[in-house]
Amino acid sequence: MCDMRSTEIEETQLVTAEMKVHVLRTGTLEGDLSWFLLRKGDTFIDRYHKDDPRIWSHYPTHAVLIEHPEGRILWDTGLPRNWEEQWAPAGFNDYFPVTEDVNATTGWLDSGLASLELAPEDIDVLVLSHLHYDHVGNARMFDNGKTRIIANNNEIAGVKTIEGTVDGAHLVSEFLGLPLEGTPGDVDLVEGVHLINTPGHTWGTMSLQLDLPNDGTKIFTSDAIYLKDSYGPPIVGSPIVWDNRMWLESVHKLRGIADRTGAELIFGHDKDQIELIKTGPDEFYS
Ligand SMILES: [Zn+2]
């Protein structure tokens, strides 16, 4: 107990960096809830339930823009406007169509950056939580010779093993040839901005921990935890996981950090939570 208390004090003392953090909405997917959440009893049905309707739901995406004294950092890039064309080779479009009417209101990455009077060249560092199509859809915007693009070493090594053009939600054309810089994870990118290794969803999925002087610690989980209902307790798994045991360990790891720091977790694709957090152009965390 004493050790844990001293850790808390150290972590509190680290909360000094002045940051302005904007959460940008970057498009919303639709699809079968079973992709994200296999509820108990929902995996297999019996003959008496064969006509039960499945649950079709919405899955918003977001990016995080961090205005830090040492530079501008962007976390993830969301969905591309030209998704129908870009994803056609993968065959995702009928399973995960993008909700155009919602996006007309909530915007896309380029309009979100523009609302802050920013263009892709203004971003110093782009960090990709992992290389799935709903997180790297706009990554090529940042292949501008100025923005550093960072992903986890294990994710970069993992995608090199893909044969062909698509592997699950990895669409090779979205990241092939990008100047990806590797990170081992579990590192401070700059003061107050920590990249947490949370593998399992993919080889090298990371989460983002921000230690904010006014708003406390926020952890953006990306797909280490899709939804509040994934986090539980009880933790509820999903079929789109590369390694279930590692995924579970990562959820436990994030819960441990949240318990220690009092962090708020912001899940990767939760349609109810996104409405409760600050995402407007004039709103920010600090
Ligand atoms: Zn993913």
List for the chain the helix, strand, coil content (%; round to 5): 30, 25, 45
Q: Which domain holds residue 36?
A: 2-275
d(CA 18, CA 16): 6
Mean pLDDT of successive 10-residue segments in the chain (286 residues)?
43 65 96 78 62 85 97 98 92 89 90 96 98 97 97 98 93 96 98 98 98 96 96 88 95 98 97 96 94
Question: Residue 30: how many CB atoms within 10 A of its CB?
Answer: 14
Element at 113 (helix H, strand E): helix 109-115
Longest dimension (CA), the chain: 61
Rounded to an integer, what is the distance from CA 176 to the centroid of its chain? 20
| Ligand 1 centroid, distance to 130 Cα (angstroms) | 7
pLDDT at 148: 98
One-letter-per-residue 3-state SS of 125-163: EEECCCCCHHHHCCHHHHCCCCCEEEEEHHHHHHHCCCC
Domain count, the chain: 1
CATH code for the domain of 163? 3.60.15.10
pLDDT at 41: 42
pLDDT at 220: 98
pLDDT at 7: 46
Residues with CB under 5 A from ligand 1 (ion): 132, 223
Q: How many helices (H) and strands (E) does the chain have?
A: 8, 13
| Ligand 1 centroid, distance to 228 Cα (angstroms) | 16
284 belongs to a structural domain: no
| Ligand 1 centroid, distance to 158 Cα (angstroms) | 14
| Ligand 1 centroid, distance to 113 Cα (angstroms) | 22
State which amino acid sits at residue 280.
Answer: G
Contacts of residue 83, defined as CB under 8 A and 6 or more positions apart, other chains included, come to 27, 93, 98, 137
282 belongs to a structural domain: no
Contact between 29 and 223 under an 8 Å Cβ cutoff? The reply is no
283 belongs to a structural domain: no
pLDDT at 46: 65
Contact between 152 and 204 under an 8 Å Cβ cutoff? The reply is yes
281 belongs to a structural domain: no
| Ligand 1 centroid, distance to 95 Cα (angstroms) | 15
| Ligand 1 centroid, distance to 105 Cα (angstroms) | 24
| Ligand 1 centroid, distance to 58 Cα (angstroms) | 15
Is residue 34 helix, strand or coil? helix
Contacts of residue 147, defined as CB under 8 A and 6 or more positions apart, other chains included, come to 120, 121, 123, 124, 125, 126
222 belongs to a structural domain: yes
pLDDT at 255: 98
| Ligand 1 centroid, distance to 191 Cα (angstroms) | 27
pLDDT at 139: 98
146 belongs to a structural domain: yes
285 belongs to a structural domain: no
| Ligand 1 centroid, distance to 241 Cα (angstroms) | 8
pLDDT at 224: 98
| Ligand 1 centroid, distance to 273 Cα (angstroms) | 18
Element at 104 (helix H, strand E): helix 100-106
Is residue 6 helix, strand or coil? helix
Contact between 130 and 153 under an 8 Å Cβ cutoff? The reply is no
280 belongs to a structural domain: no
| Ligand 1 centroid, distance to 36 Cα (angstroms) | 10
| Ligand 1 centroid, distance to 129 Cα (angstroms) | 9
| Ligand 1 centroid, distance to 223 Cα (angstroms) | 5
DSSP 172: G
